[in-house]
Structure 1
């Protein structure tokens, strides 16, 4: 079986191109240096740890990358769950475990995202009967901790808490709010309406934004092949349903310098 860890980076880097024929969405905030340096990611741990994982991958720090992706997965980030699966499948930065890898890719496909469904079916077809049986067994624990029933409430708490801490009494008045963020040439100013777009902060709209991006991403052809969804593959998980573990602790992740993502600076309220 050829290594396929490239598939998820391709998905991560090309997903936004898939929106060409759809109504425009706000740009990916992690592509905007101002938004990244403004403390935005401090309130979006799913995006924050995914980006840290991708950076670690680029630097060949695969053990760190695996831990970062797993931390992002704790906050319902499906692309990071898919990266955990790929790394387990190939033994990249972690001991190879194909059965556990399938469980994670099944989880990444939980919302029916086409790219992850295709990889899930590719995994399933490569497993033997013993591996399939074990995949369904270990998958129950994976879903209990990282499935949407447990993970979506975690990211919802982070979004609401972050918005509340940064807006305070300004809630509902962000259209005229100016936010000052640290930059290489000093502080920069951005409009509150950009930083506080509801699609970045309201949990339901935030998930809809992710769904629009990942449901059917366009995946370009690369030299080693092309990701294709298996014909007739079902959206439903093969893993038996299990109760969510709402109290599961966040997995360990490498330490990140406190100034890696500077905080937002708000001007004092006008008298």
Structure 2
């Protein structure tokens, strides 16, 4: 049975809004975007991937598709694969942006770069529906997208921010964060966060942080909902069709002042 494309789009958006799924030998830490005290304490300042994805989702749900696309692209600069997939879906459907199936494929190919099952299946669905000219254009356009947003360029960016912001907050005390107490002002008086919670290595060490994302998105719930009719993907199919390019890691950080998500609704996964 084949599902209409709008169902794929809706399922992907719903997947972004689901809470984290614990997996692996070591349980994943709690989703910090579900903890208002963590957010108030400035957690998102050191995690632009989550910050911009949350902002994008709020804009999207408010009907502001133009700003949603902009923030999904900002999150994409920091190796956020779910945001890259949403850019692809919005381009594929002409949702708040001119419809461009070739460009959409390039973005979904990028989202599938790490072999996340749901995004791989969507990538193959796109490819099957492109004509010859669109396929050629997708591969051409994809080179510039990979140069800026591919993991070779984007992972060093998010790693740099994680290290910088943790260093700025803890200084020489890094490694002794369990002894820190973070005071968060509030109407009812200041509240405390244990440093071992806020500075859990899995939130700040680039390798562990990536593993945390992988534990959630490797086989997300969206994979079984929206892409019927696609044959099971062979392991070799993880490889991108887009030619390898040199990364361009030097991209200016987005200038969005101090805008932060309000977190009025259900939060996103990590």
TM class by shorter chain equals 0.7 to 0.9
Aligned to 2:111: 108
Aligned to 1:269: none
Gap change, CA 1:242 and 1:151, over 3 Å in 2? same
Aligned to 2:58: 55
For 1:140-199, what per-residue CA distance to the aligned partner results, in whole angstroms no more than 9, with x for missing partners?
000000000000000000000000000013222211211012334332101000000000
Q: How does 1:224-263 map to 2 (within 5 A)?
A: 226-227=226-227, 230-233=231-234, 234-250=237-253, 255=256, 257=258
Aligned to 2:137: 134
Aligned to 1:264: none
Residue ranges of structure 2 left out of the alignment (5+ in a row): 263-270
Aligned to 1:12: 16
1:12 is displaced (CA, Å) by 1.4
Please say which of residues 158-167 and 185-194 is displaced more in the overlay.
185-194
Aligned to 2:28: 25
Q: Contact (CA 8 Å) 2:115, 2:238: kept in 1 or not?
A: yes
Q: Contact (CA 8 Å) 1:15, 1:218: kept in 2 or not?
A: no
Give aligned pairs, total.
255
Partner secondary structure for residue 30 of structure 1: helix
Give the whole-Å Cα distance in 2 for the aligned partners of 1:168 and 1:249.
Answer: 25
Q: TM-score scaled to structure 1, two decimals?
A: 0.87
Aligned to 2:266: none
Q: Contact (CA 8 Å) 1:109, 1:116: kept in 2 or not?
A: yes
Gap change, CA 1:259 and 1:21, over 3 Å in 2? closer
Q: How does 1:172-251 map to 2 (within 5 A)?
A: 172-219=175-222, 226-227=226-227, 230-233=231-234, 234-250=237-253
Matched, 1:92 2:107: no
Give the whole-Å Cα distance in 1 for the aligned partners of 2:156 and 2:24.
Answer: 31
Give the superposed CA RMSD.
2.1
Q: TM-score scaled to structure 2, two decimals?
A: 0.87
For 1:46-68, what per-residue CA distance to the aligned partner results, in whole angstroms no more than 9, with x for missing partners?
00000000111110111000000
Residue ranges of structure 1 left out of the alignment (5+ in a row): 262-271
Give the whole-Å Cα distance in 2 for the aligned partners of 1:259 and 1:104.
Answer: 25
